[in-house]
Structure 1
Amino acid sequence: MPPVKLRVRVTPRSSRNQICSWNGKQLAVKVTGAPVKGAANEATIKLLAQVLKIRASDIAIISGHNARNKLLSISGCSVKQIRQSLQQALSK
């Protein structure tokens, strides 16, 4: 199964880690990590791994290492599984 690409808008220095919204094209997340030394990137990957129930090593940042808008590559999940997991996370 080929990796799935996911666009994510990250808001760092939030009070908690959370999935905020999904508009069909881009996922919005808030993370507690600061945008210093990759802390926000790590927090984003950890949050998505938790929500998708996969290993953090299955998620890689393709572009946007130093930006709020990122393109992620997710291995080990289908598009359908990702959508279902995100819908469940948003309904909480």
Structure 2
Amino acid sequence: MYIRVSVRTDAGVEFVRQESDNTYLIAVRAPAERGLANKRVIELLRENMATDKRLIMRIVSGHHSPHKLISIEDGK
């Protein structure tokens, strides 16, 4: 499964908001430096979506952009 994510960095409040079936808006406190914001985006998605700890989440495209495509796969 793939989801599209728009990210706001340096936010005062962190949140994950589902905009549509496969589109999310995520705000993180981390700066957009050295992959810190990307790491926090994955952590927040895992906290908010993943009931199965074996799910593998990775950024497919948008490593240096606020608009990302994230792959979510079953790790079985």
- TM-score, length-scaled by structure 1: 0.70
Q: Runs of 5+ in structure 2 lacking a partner?
A: none
For residue 27 of structure 1, report the CA deviation from its aligned partner: 1.0
For residue 25 of structure 1, report the CA deviation from its aligned partner: 4.7
- Say which structure is richer in strand: 2
Contact 1:49–1:56 (Cα < 8 Å) also in 2: no
What is the rounded CA distance, in whole Å, between the counterparts of 1:43 and 1:9 in structure 2?
Answer: 13
Deviating above 3 A after TM superposition, structure 1's stretches of 4 or more consecutive aligned residues are 54-57
Corresponding residue of 2:64? 66
Aligned length: 74
Is residue 31 from structure 1 mapped to residue 11 from structure 2 by the alignment?
no
Is residue 19 from structure 1 mapped to residue 11 from structure 2 by the alignment?
no
Q: Runs of 5+ in structure 1 lacking a partner?
A: 77-92
- Say which structure is richer in helix: 1
User: How large is the Cα RMSD of the aligned pairs?
Assistant: 2.1
Percent of residue pairs bearing the same amino acid type: 25
